[in-house]
């Protein structure tokens, strides 16, 4: 994680360009998923909440690895090849997990967005699914409210509707969650508060230990 500041800065710029191309909100999630605490990385999320188009993964790889002296020329090449309107608006959403490096890397990503004249919404510490949801709703408000509260509400409403359905004889209202000391622990606890007592989520490894540690 300590060598990624320049990569996140460049991905901030790339996300602005992607937003201009798609005329849509694009997301950046700073996380290394199931890797241990010292690692970190970034996922770019396309307008419908899906992962970045594969052809742009190659562009991201090139931009991440190009020498500093070639950065401007590489960006100009991307802009020309994709006929990007430099004056088009760009909107980016950023989130991060609970890794200690997440804050500084998010600052680097935001600096990149600002350097490319993009608009940024920083949601701080959230889960990766929440980031996907926020991007999708920002581009299609009919899907839901583009807030963390909207995410929990949509899930809770769906769960309660299923709970009220048929074939409930085998239902057991208790689950055990190993949250691996990650961002899922506080998220699960917040989600449970909306379930009207219909489900008890017992969270283990709830953030008091090392992230994703064996």
What residues form DSSP beta bridges with 51? 45
pTM of the predicted structure, to 2 decimals: 0.89
Low-confidence spans in the chain with pLDDT less than 70? 1, 37, 166-169, 209, 212-214
- The DSSP letter of residue 172 is -
Distances (CA, A) of 124 to 32, 98, 146: 16, 9, 14
Question: Do 94 and 67 form a contact (C-beta atoms < 8 A)?
Answer: no
Rounded to whole angstroms, the Cα distance separating 65 from 60 reads 9
pLDDT at 16: 98
Query: Beta partners for 34?
Result: none
pLDDT value of position 53? 96
Given this model, what pLDDT does residue 183 score? 84
Phi, psi values for residue 27, rounded to 5°: -110, 155
Domains, in order of start, for the chain: 5-143 (3.40.120.10), 167-214 (no CATH)
pLDDT of residue 169: 67
> Do 35 and 102 contact (CB within 8 A), yes or no?
no
Q: Please tell me the predicted confidence (pLDDT) of residue 87.
A: 93
Residues 97 and 125: beta-carbon distance below 8 Å: yes
Q: Is 168 exposed, middle or buried, given 0-12, 13-18 or 19+ CB atoms closer than 10 A?
A: exposed
CB 127 within 8 A of CB 187: yes
Which positions are annotated as active-site residues? 33
**Interstrand relation of 174-178 and 42-45 (parallel, antiparallel or unpaired):** unpaired
Query: What pLDDT score was predicted for residue 190?
Result: 86
């Amino acid at each position: 994680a300590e060598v990624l500041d320049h990569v996140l800065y460049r991905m901030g710029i790339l996300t602005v360009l992607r937003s201009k191309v798609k005329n849509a909100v694009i997301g950046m999630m700073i996380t290394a998923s199931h890797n241990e605490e010292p690692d970190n990385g970034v996922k770019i999320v396309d307008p419908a909440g899906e992962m970045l188009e594969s052809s742009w993964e190659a562009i991201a790889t090139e931009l991440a690895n190009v020498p500093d002296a070639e950065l401007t020329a590489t960006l100009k090449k991307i802009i020309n090849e994709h006929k990007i309107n430099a004056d088009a608006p760009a909107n980016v959403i950023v989130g991060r997990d609970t890794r200690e490096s997440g804050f500084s890397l998010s600052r680097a990503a935001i600096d990149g967005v600002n350097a490319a004249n993009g608009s940024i919404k920083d949601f701080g510490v959230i889960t990766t699914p929440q980031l996907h949801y926020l991007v999708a709703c920002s581009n299609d408000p009919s899907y839901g409210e583009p807030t963390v509260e909207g995410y929990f509400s949509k899930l809770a409403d769906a769960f309660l509707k299923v709970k009220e359905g048929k074939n409930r004889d085998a239902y057991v209202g208790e689950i055990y969650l190993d949250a691996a000391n990650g961002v899922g622990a506080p998220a699960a606890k917040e989600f449970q508060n909306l379930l009207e007592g219909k489900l008890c989520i017992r969270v283990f490894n709830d953030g008091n230990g090392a992230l994703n540690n064996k």
